[in-house]
Structure 1
Amino acid sequence: MRAACCHHAPAPRRSGQLIDHREDAAIVRAWTIRGGSQGEREAMALDQGLVVVGWDEVGDLSACKSIDDVGTVLEESYPDAASRTLVNWKHQLWRFLTMDIGDLVVMPRKFQQIVSIGELTGPYEYRADQPAGSRHVRTANWRVRALDRAAIKGDLRDSMGSFLTISELTRREAVQRVTALLQGGRDPGFTGGIEPPADPDALEADVANAGTRQLTARDLIALWGWSRRTSGVTEVVDQELAARDLTVEPHFNSVRLDDLVTVSSASDETGTTDESSELDASLSGQSSSGDPFKKTPADQDLGWRIGTLPFARDVTTIPIDGELGLAYSHMVESDFSQLPVVDRNGRTQGVVTWQSIARAKLTGRGNTVAEVTDRNAPTARETEELFSRIQDLRRHGFLVIVDGDHLVTGVLTASDIADQLKLRIEPFTLLEEVELRLRRTLNRFKQDDLPARTQNLLQKKGRITLGEYRYVLQEPALWSHLNWPFDQQSFLERLDVVKKFRDSVAHWDVDAPEAEREAVEATRQLLRLLQLVA
């Protein structure tokens, strides 16, 4: 057992309250504190009214007056631990020491679909007479012992999904929302934007200070100067995050650009008995073996993922015990082919379709929502690869999109896929025809009349790139020879735009061409001109 911080004399086993480290002690904050990698501290916490953390090798921290003091003790206690890991633990333990009485605490329950919420009622204590893994404690009043996790909106649940034992819930009105959950069992949610960090260093600092940092996928890649997710961008950002010991959930390549992702520390905490670096599966509904839909950065590809596609996300649903007439009204008035059926917390129970209604009526049933519900309706996660679910889309015409807690988050239809196919394929067909007509134009010239660089490319490769046509068409004599009824400079400017667009779609891009609507239109306009003359 290690001595107290900074080699001060050991404090009493039940320490007094630390000095107030906060500028305004009246401000309530909210924290996530886990009950062990296997939930081994949860029962003790709830039965004895405590929040408990591990770090068995660390002794009494009562004498620590700064985060550096905590760091010194950790270095002595874990001499073989990596420096990044020690920094990670230092921040976590300092949070535990400096949380104020009256702060809110949330304990996600391991392997259960519930969380416990309470308030801190006492200062930090070190109980040397307790078993290993349960000596660092603070008293708490667990006012809600078993709140259904489905009552918490996805963004707040994600912010609780840190790798860390102790993290702060800071953004998107988290404190007010945890208070609402504590008082009424419902999360009012948050619909506003979120200010991104100024740069990668600020992101790293935010994670160090709070444990997690939420931002959009767009803002994340923008920290390194990118606006779209090409294969190269994905690799670079993954490498930059790994170099800073950061991980992101869900992966920024499996969501839409403006969807939120949560960044947290990825430090290996295996130096302790139970402060595991494994992502707490209690928030995803998965066992400790992990989420079967989860992809590590090395596994990520740039194929279509369901979450990257636009589909109906503001979904009308019907309760399983709701009025059947209301289901009919929704389907007729809004021309719905399907209507997801949910329980009181929004978890999927199936779907009502005109086919399921007809089947129920033919068997003499069909008087309640439950009776007309198709319990075998296909569901999918946003992180799944789209083409792995094409057969379900083909057979049913839709997929009900759910999150890790089986809450309905959207509906993807075959019509949505058709729209995306047009959006994705049309630019390639436009570009192909542009290049075909330009090649025809090139055949109007004698090879000796072409610019020397163009002749060399033709001799080496047999064809030239789209950008090379500018060097041909900017020659006054060659342009005059074509006798086209267009302004030369205007035509060349259009060609420059299209060439740049062609370069951007040369490789698969999760966000193109939707992010390049103006370039698509410029390509279409150039093609119209060429169709008149070539």
Structure 2
Amino acid sequence: MTLDEFLTDAASRSADNAVTLTIRDLLGRWGAKRRDPDTVQSISSDLAAYGLQTSPSFEVSWIDTEVILIAHTASGVPSTDDWEPRPTSTDTEDVSLTVSSLQSATAGVTRVRPDESVIKARSLMHRHDFSQLPVMKSERALVGVISWESIAKGRLDGDVDTVSSVLAPAATVALTADLLASIPRIIESGYVFVEDNTKRVTGIVTTSDLSQQFELLAGPFLLIGETERRLRRLIDRWFSVDTIKNAVHDSPERRKQVVNASGLTIGEMMKLFEPESHWKTLSSLADRKTFLQALDEMRRLRNDIMHFNPDPLDQTAITGTRQFAKWLEYLDSAAVAKE
């Protein structure tokens, strides 16, 4: 099925038969794997051209979150009750990282009813290694939480036969809430239950999830830092101060302030290495085209990390940047040997 056929089919469907697919599969329809600004713009424009929009937004939710393609009615009112308008931006720096970008936020929950036994709740918590469970009358009726702490406190007060006897208030956060602003609340409670705009509980985010997310970003972040330091060290060895200053094109005043490679942005470092004339003395150390390809791959990985792209980082890019860092270490040694 071509993209045009896919969109035509989606636009022709009723609300109760709307196309449902994961964000990963949606990206695949456009031949993409990650949500870079150009891809987001292209998908948003094509969807709008067919009168379609995803619910929830495909821009910031976890990549394996399911979305539905919603057709607008003639009056401009969305065709489903839970449609939530969202501005589209092609600038990743203008899009906040939301709670929905965490995998656990839309992974669902294991729940218990208020009238069920504490034994059942404890068994589920042991079975899944949970510290708490949402207590719910239905998927949109969260009444509280049961935890090891609430069970212990309940025992001090007497009978703890049913879940309702050890019920505690539940901490919640919206699926579209700003993630950074939500971190203090998550740390304070140890968890938050995540609700969509219809009050359906979609998942739970814990301090463990925050730690895991930090760990996923910390390694590549440190790798980028090491690679940039080695690159700046080589630039100071390979190029004169005047050549380095000439890589700064935006401001004469800033050009005066640049005295070495530490004052260059990653884009300016790219510009410094691009001219073939700069490789007259470097060609015996490295191939210009191969070096620029490695440098551009590192730049793209750096942008993904610094802009907090919600998609998992490309492991191929991480491996390539790690190899680039080793190459830079070798080139540094070779440069020292030539001096």
1:457 is aligned to 247
- Other-structure match for 1:241: 47
Whether 2:294 is the aligned partner of 1:497: answer: yes
Q: Give CA deviations for 1:233-258 in whole Å, capped at 9, x if unaligned.
A: 33343233223322222111142223
Kindly state the Cα deviation for residue 353 of structure 1 after the two structures are TM-superposed. Answer: 1.5
**CA deviation map 1:86-140 (0-9, x unaligned):** xxxxxxxxxxxxxxxxxxxxxxxxxxxxxxxxxxxxxxxxxxxxxxxxxxxxxxx
Cα offset for 1:393?
A: 0.3
Unaligned 5+ residue runs, structure 2?
A: 259-263, 334-339
Structure 1 match to 2:114: 320
Q: 1:308 matched to which residue of 2?
A: 101
Would you say the 8 A contact 1:246–1:266 is kept in 2? yes
Structure-1 separation of matches of 2:63 and 2:102: 10
Taking the aligned partners of 1:378 and 1:499, their CA distance within structure 2 comes to 43
Cα 1:367–1:467 shift into 2, 3 Å: farther
* Match for residue 163 of structure 2 among 369, 375, 379: 369
TM-score normalised to the size of structure 1?
Answer: 0.50
Q: Aligned partners of 1:205, 1:260: CA distance in 2, in Å?
A: 18
Which residue of 2 is the match for residue 417 of structure 1? 210
Q: Which amino acid aligns with 1:261?
A: V
Structure label with greater radius of gyration: 1
Higher relative contact order (CA 8 A, sep 6+): 2
| Contact 2:194 2:202 survives alignment (8 Å) | yes
Per the alignment, residue 177 of structure 2 pairs with 384
SS, match of residue 247 in structure 2: helix
CA distance in 2 between counterparts of 1:438 and 1:311 reads: 37
Partner of 1:401: 194
Amino acid in the other structure paired with 2:115 = D
Query: CA deviation digits over 1:280-335, x for unaligned, max 9?
Result: 43xx4xxxxxx8xx342358952212222122725333332222123223333543
CA distance in structure 1 between the aligned counterparts of 2:220 and 2:53, rounded to whole angstroms: 34
- Measure the CA separation in 1 of the matches of 2:2 and 2:141: 37
Name the SS of the counterpart of 1:527 in structure 2: helix
* Mapping 1:154-165, distance limit 5 Å: none
Looking at structure 1, the residues matched to 230 and 50 of structure 2 have their Cα atoms a distance apart, in angstroms, of 49
- Given that residues 297 and 321 in structure 2 are in contact (C-alpha distance below 8 angstroms), is that contact kept between their aligned partners in structure 1? no
Q: Contact between 1:231 and 1:509, CA under 8 Å: does it hold in 2?
A: no
CA distance in 2: counterparts of 1:531 and 1:397, whole angstroms = 42
User: 1:296 matched to which residue of 2?
Assistant: 86
Structure with more helix by fraction: 2
SS at match of 1:251: coil
Aligned counterpart, 2:146: 352
Distance 1:213 1:394, change over 3 A: same
Partner of 2:324: 526
Cα deviations across residues 444-485 of structure 1 (Å, max 9, x unaligned)? Answer: 23639x9x8x784268855442474476899585365x7xxx
1:206 match: 10
Task: Indicate if the aligned counterparts of 2:294 and 2:324 stay in contact, CA closer than 8 A.
Answer: no
- Contact residue 224 and residue 298 of structure 2 kept, 8 A: no
Residue 251 (1) aligns with residue 57 (2): yes
Q: Residue 315 of structure 1 contacts residue 411 of structure 1 at CA under 8 Å; is this kept in 2?
A: yes
Residues 52, 69 of structure 2: 8 Å contact kept: yes
| Distance in 1, Cα, partners of 2:139 & 2:52 | 32
Cα offset for 1:399? Answer: 1.2
- Whether the 8 Å CA contact 2:70–2:79 is kept in 1: the answer is no
How far apart, in 2, do the equivalents of 1:344 and 1:262 lie?
22
Deviations 1:323-360 (A, max 9, x none): 21232233335432212223366843322112212222
In 1, Cα distance between equivalents of 2:184 and 2:229: 35
Secondary structure at 2:177 match in 1: coil
TM-score of the two chains, using structure 2 as the length reference: 0.74
Aligned pair count reads: 310
Residues 43-54 of structure 1 aligned to structure 2 (within 5 Å): none
Q: How high is the sequence identity, in percent, across the aligned residues?
A: 26
